[in-house]
Structure 1
């Protein structure tokens, strides 16, 4: 077929329908966030949790979900390798063809992993949802003024979380449910700063999650 006949093929009509609106690319040294318009993926179509009324995890911040995703066994480097964004090659392929006495190298092909790649990859959080499925919905919105109730909620999968507070710090920082409750608690306390400063001091004596450690110390030291 001729070029004109090929352009009239139905496959080109399907490509035209799938075209996305043009967006101005972000310059290399721009301070604009590339993840500004990204949203946390919702429930999977085959998920057994589709009957829930509200997706509370999707209301959390991106950095918090990513931190919990890593604790749930998420491997960013592994995911990028699956997508073909990180490739490995034998070390001998990274050698130049010629090296002069002045250490000038010729014939060296630059590895593509050192170049800018603006590809966006959506990470699956189904494993994280599975780890947090036994957490009660009220744990996403803890009460701060109820002194009679404990801040460390119970969980059918991990038992009484107050027992985890007595474990070594390195173990607590790997416990996804314990970190989940502590992060949400500190988020509520930081939103009430400076009125909750005494409560922040009290909780800091127990521990501070790595994700919010800098913010908590800034609040305790009075740094704006």
Structure 2
């Protein structure tokens, strides 16, 4: 094959890879394509009849930077650096990326609580966001109480609103409680908008699950009759 044709082919392939990288939205794919394009540039300058060493080294340096960033992206997206316990715990934070979870992990403390312990008091500030591992969690508000099944978060409403706890929360059978300091978590969320959005989405899902578990749909339907559509004629009694 003609040497000039080979070099031109390498240069064109590199250009296509870099253009493709700048057209995609996924950061990992962008880095892979751009790194491949720059590697082609390094090959172009290295395979010339008179290699240009400075250009080869400069492009290899850029390839190395992109490879380092690719490694960081993979670390952010994968759980390969987590142990079995952390992987099991990560399953309870489905809206967070593995990297976000790893950065929050140092804020978490775990403790086994005895039966009957109270975790939150209605009207009092909540200092810790809690993930409770227990078969039964008792919630009491305004004299009325109902149970929810664990694992479940406790204190997320107070955390999101900044208000005191809206209910008393106890563990009739005890359990394991994972606590996260609310002030430290809020500080992390202020510095990282993506983490803020992930936490808000997580607690939105948690609240929806609690509502669905605590108010059966058939009972809710009986408690609130459906209004007739505009212009519809009410049903006439038979007889």
Q: Which category describes the TM-score, using the shorter chain as reference length?
A: under 0.3
Task: Give 1 or 2: higher helix fraction.
Answer: 2
What TM-score do the two structures reach when normalised by structure 2?
A: 0.26
Which entry has the higher C-alpha Rg, 1 or 2? 2
What TM-score do the two structures reach when normalised by structure 1?
A: 0.27
Task: Give 1 or 2: higher strand fraction.
Answer: 2
